[in-house]
Structure 1
Amino acid sequence: MGSSAHELAAATPASRDKYIDLLRVASLGTVVLGHWLMAAVTVGDDGRAEVGNLLAVEPRLQLLTWALQIMPVFFFVGGFSHALSYRSLRRRSEGAPVYSVFLRARLQRLLRPTVVFIGVWGAGALALQLAGEGGGLLDVSLRLVAQPLWFIGIYLAMVAFTPPLLRLHERYGWGAFGGLVAAAASVDVLRFAFGVPYVEFLNFAFVWLAVHQLGFLRADGRLGRPYVLAGAGLAGAALLVAYGPYPLSMVGMPGEKISNMAPPTFALLCHGLWLVGAVELLREPAGRWLRRPRVWRTVVAANGVSMTAFLWHLTAMLGVYGVLLAAGVRLPEPATGGWWAQVPLRIAAAMVVTGVLVAVFRRFERPSAGGKSKVSPEVSQEVSPEVSPDVSPSGAGPAAAVGVALCLFGVLGLSMVGFGGLLEGRTAMLIAVRVTAPVAVAMTLVGWLLVERAGRGRPSLHKYATRV
């Protein structure tokens, strides 16, 4: 049985950076609310349901993405936590290889609920297809619910690259971050000025890893002038959008030729810099707020289920729309007065359904450990002081690297192809390779098993459980 939020909050070490936890849960919560708000379901004259984007219907609202596209903050938080965790494990290993142990510890609470989500939706999609069910909103749902998995894939890459990039950071400091920024800028120059094909996909690494690198700097207390970061990032993004080929929206729009998100652009990197600087400016007042016991208990409780809620929130939203359509409720045209009047009710219903799904699946977000640690996963940013990490088995590091690579390509592929057409071999283009849903699922499962197996040591290692 897991500890209650009250017990976990009371057990929080004095060294805990509570603001990092607030940023983690606030960033995921903002993404969830943004998805619920932007989804615009319509029913055509032929009775077919389609899911559009409010920002495409009302382009003036795209400016809101400069505040609501908050995923850079989550990746920044990841960099901070990964640096602390890897350094803590490295100290206790006395120089022995710990890569596979680090991967398993950091990814356990990410991959277990993800694999369950994929398994449930995959089995459901297969059963529906065998039963001949489909059409309407169901077909759209089978495609859409997998789209947020792109975030899981990017996060997997960040964890996998933490050890080498942390070494670069420890040697070059801001220079390592600057190198990633320069690489991201060079990619856009090659893409837009010289038309080099496929080079844009490199920015899936350079842009997001640059934001992740800011978390390393934060862990070392080297973000001393966040107003400079915020100002430079905001000015850079504004100039690039105003005078460059970049669109206004910081999220992808249907039918647009250039997206700031997929693949990421240098404008999105500037956006990330401005957001990181902005949240750092709020650090002190937020820290005072978090000293209130009730506030901190709420943050701890939310962090304990945040990944489960993120994985299932689109399922909840589409379920609400499905019930409305089945009940014959008329859906107003998006962005009209009637549509806005329904928004609070739809979001409230989606919150309730998400709560039910979280209650069912939250146990998979808890790491499986072969022992009890005095520091719970919900409140630990480092290895517990009682842990004495073991040496990784021979060959565990390469096996773990292969496993995380398979997981990465598996979840990215699934985010593109979705769960529809499992038996027809429906494909999607992942960079320059076509993938099917069954192949993507198989890669994810095999990769997860490799990471789990490679990261297991003697029982003492099972106590090592850190927050995603």
Structure 2
Amino acid sequence: MGIIASRASHGSSVRELAAATPASRDRYVDLLRVASLTVVVLGHWLMAAVTPDGEVGNLLAVVPGLQILTWALQVMPVFFFVGGFSHALAHRSRPQYAVFLRARLQRLLRPTMVFIGTWSALALAVQLLGADDGLTGVALRLVAQPLWFIGIYLAMVAFTPPLLRLHGRWGWGAFAALVAGAALVDVLRFAAGVPYVAFLNFGLVWLAIHQLGFLRADGLIRRPGLLAAVGLVGAGLLVGFGPYPLSMVGMPGEKVSNMAPPTLALLCHGLWLVGAVELLKRPGARFTARARVWRAVVAANGVAMTAFLWHLTAMLGVYGTLLALGIRLPQPASAAWWAQVPVRLAAAAALTALLVTLFRRFEQPPAAAAARAGASGSGGGNRHLAALGITLALFGVLGLSMTGFGGLLEGHTATLVAVQVSAPAAVAMGLAGWFLVERAGRS
């Protein structure tokens, strides 16, 4: 996030930040980052189907015919692809592991830990008041689900140095090895019935998409149309003739999900999306060259993570307010429900904007921290402490995405791969990991 992150910490205005952007910056990458998160947020808002009784369902389960839209709207692979591009450039400018981790994670972990701390306090208060049932209980579980994305992103940052070395040596070969590994995992999963092996694809599938970002950084994606075609045809064949479902997002009650754990079909879907956005690179660059557009991209990048963390809180807040006011909700997917969609989206956007106003300062490191980060760029930091820190943060965030914030007093547990993780332990690991990453990068 480069200039946007560093200068924003000193309080520069959006107009000044936009004007100070160097000509060498790839503005299209910043546009893709903002656009992909925006589509994810809108998708979550639209998929939430709350019944008149306050039960939360999924619109794609109510109207299965809409699942084909996920082939265009499941854009999380684009965000991870952009992350690979940014991480490659960042590591080459700050090759020391601990310093690299702290620089990449400061704008990610700080707002995430504030989100976790705030919701933990709210959850404890709600539980002590005995109000953790109904939509409130659902909210305590749902608002933590997007944290899986943070956990996967942490893994990508952690594995950037070794995978970047493999990329430097093998290029497309390193990417092909990850794809082959993901394919082998699915064979062992579906053909041989090997237990737990599917969870390896949480790393192999997403790291393969991330590896495409390295290839883009070195200008090696020269035939994006072919990449898109191979991905689209591959996904179509796998879904049409294999054990893979149509939806590229998780569906309630499904036996096989393309998302959790990720499948080879989702990897092919990612290939098609990456090829598609690369085909649009030239018009995208012309679009972001417009001063007004670039100022909007800069402004959005400065609060993107905060908006992502709090958007489900806002959505559930809208539904909770409607129910509290005694306003009867229409049946999901009915004519009345569709008619109210623009109003609900506008209300969720307004509440998200309010939450961003309250919490955006945590996404921007204070000036003193930015100065320390710049000063630490010449040192090596403590790589072992950094590795321990990111490991704890990774398991803490992923664990919390599984347990949710409910049952903190009882030590509610959920299964992360094959390990039982409690909600209090997940919160503690996340906070401890953040502290260690910060300390290691400054040492």
TM-score normalised by the chain length of structure 2: 0.96
Q: In structure 2, what is the equivalent of residue 307 of structure 1? A: 305
Q: Which amino acid aligns with 1:323?
A: T
Query: Which residue, out of 79, 82, 85, partners 2:87?
Result: 82
Query: Which residue, out of 21, 24, 28, partners 2:37?
Result: 28
Alpha-carbon shift at residue 391 of structure 1 (Å): 2.4
Q: Which amino acid aligns with 2:77?
A: P
Query: Which residue, out of 386, 389, 399, partners 1:400?
Result: 386
Q: Distance in 1 between matches of 2:295 and 2:380?
A: 36
Q: In structure 2, what is the equivalent of residue 462 of structure 1? A: none
Q: Do the aligned partners of residues 121 and 175 (structure 1) sit closer, same or farther apart at CA in structure 2, a change above 3 Å counting? A: same
Q: In structure 1, what is the equivalent of residue 348 of structure 2? A: 350
Q: Which moved more, 1:35-44 or 1:184-193?
A: 35-44
**Secondary structure in 1 matching 2:434:** helix
**Secondary structure in 2 matching 1:40:** strand
Query: Which residue, out of 185, 188, 198, partners 1:187?
Result: 185
Q: In structure 2, what is the equivalent of residue 218 of structure 1? A: 216
Q: Deviations over 1:312-358 (max 9, x none)?
A: 00000000000110111111111110000010000000000000000
Q: Distance in 2 between matches of 1:301 and 1:259?
A: 35
Alpha-carbon shift at residue 134 of structure 1 (Å): 2.4
Q: Deviations over 1:417-464 (max 9, x none)?
A: 10011112211100011111100000001111000000004xxxxxxx
Alpha-carbon shift at residue 409 of structure 1 (Å): 0.6
Q: In structure 2, what is the equivalent of residue 63 of structure 1? A: 68
Query: Which residue, out of 415, 418, 428, partners 1:429?
Result: 415
Q: Which moved more, 1:107-116 or 1:422-431?
A: 422-431
Q: In structure 1, what is the equivalent of residue 378 of structure 2? A: 390
Alpha-carbon shift at residue 366 of structure 1 (Å): 0.5
Q: Distance in 2 between matches of 1:353 and 1:371?
A: 30
TM-score normalised by the chain length of structure 1: 0.91
**Secondary structure in 1 matching 2:51:** strand
Matched, 1:39 2:48: yes
Alpha-carbon shift at residue 245 of structure 1 (Å): 0.2
Q: Distance in 1 between matches of 2:193 and 2:162?
A: 31
Q: Distance in 2 between matches of 1:188 and 1:346?
A: 39
Q: In structure 1, what is the equivalent of residue 148 of structure 2? A: 150
Q: Do the aligned partners of residues 198 and 388 (structure 1) sit closer, same or farther apart at CA in structure 2, a change above 3 Å counting? A: closer
Matched, 1:110 2:108: yes
Q: In structure 2, what is the equivalent of residue 446 of structure 1? A: 432
Q: Which amino acid aligns with 1:392?
A: G
Q: In structure 2, what is the equivalent of residue 368 of structure 1? A: 366
Alpha-carbon shift at residue 42 of structure 1 (Å): 1.1
Query: Which residue, out of 403, 407, 420, partners 2:406?
Result: 420
**Secondary structure in 2 matching 1:434:** strand
**Secondary structure in 2 matching 1:43:** coil
Query: Which residue, out of 283, 286, 293, partners 2:284?
Result: 286
Alpha-carbon shift at residue 281 of structure 1 (Å): 0.5
**Secondary structure in 1 matching 2:331:** coil
Q: Distance in 2 between matches of 1:174 and 1:316?
A: 42
Q: In structure 2, what is the equivalent of residue 378 of structure 1? A: none
Q: Deviations over 1:349-385 (max 9, x none)?
A: 0000000000000000012353767xxxxxxxxx98x
Q: Which amino acid aligns with 1:12?
A: T
Q: In structure 1, what is the equivalent of residue 357 of structure 2? A: 359
Q: Distance in 1 between matches of 2:288 and 2:317?
A: 35
Does the 8 A contact of 2:132 with 2:406 survive in 1? no
Alignment of 1:243-282 (within 5 A): 243-282=241-280
Q: Which amino acid aligns with 2:416?
A: L
% identity of equivalent residues: 73
Does the 8 A contact of 2:376 with 2:442 survive in 1? no
Q: Do the aligned partners of residues 388 and 312 (structure 1) sit closer, same or farther apart at CA in structure 2, a change above 3 Å counting? A: closer
Q: Deviations over 1:148-169 (max 9, x none)?
A: 0000000000000000000000
Matched, 1:17 2:26: yes
Q: Distance in 2 between matches of 1:112 and 1:289?
A: 32
Q: Which moved more, 1:303-312 or 1:126-135?
A: 126-135
Q: Which amino acid aligns with 2:69?
A: L
Q: Distance in 2 between matches of 1:370 and 1:170?
A: 35
Q: Distance in 2 between matches of 1:175 and 1:369?
A: 42
Alpha-carbon shift at residue 101 of structure 1 (Å): 0.5
Q: Distance in 2 between matches of 1:37 and 1:295?
A: 26
Does the 8 A contact of 2:399 with 2:426 survive in 1? yes
Alpha-carbon shift at residue 102 of structure 1 (Å): 0.4
Q: In structure 2, what is the equivalent of residue 93 of structure 1? A: none
Alpha-carbon shift at residue 388 of structure 1 (Å): 7.8
Q: In structure 2, what is the equivalent of residue 377 of structure 1? A: none
Alpha-carbon shift at residue 50 of structure 1 (Å): 1.4
Q: Which amino acid aligns with 1:416?
A: M
Q: Distance in 2 between matches of 1:371 and 1:41?
A: 43
Q: Distance in 2 between matches of 1:331 and 1:281?
A: 42
Q: In structure 1, what is the equivalent of residue 77 of structure 2? A: 72
**Secondary structure in 2 matching 1:332:** coil
Matched, 1:124 2:122: yes
Q: Do the aligned partners of residues 388 and 323 (structure 1) sit closer, same or farther apart at CA in structure 2, a change above 3 Å counting? A: closer
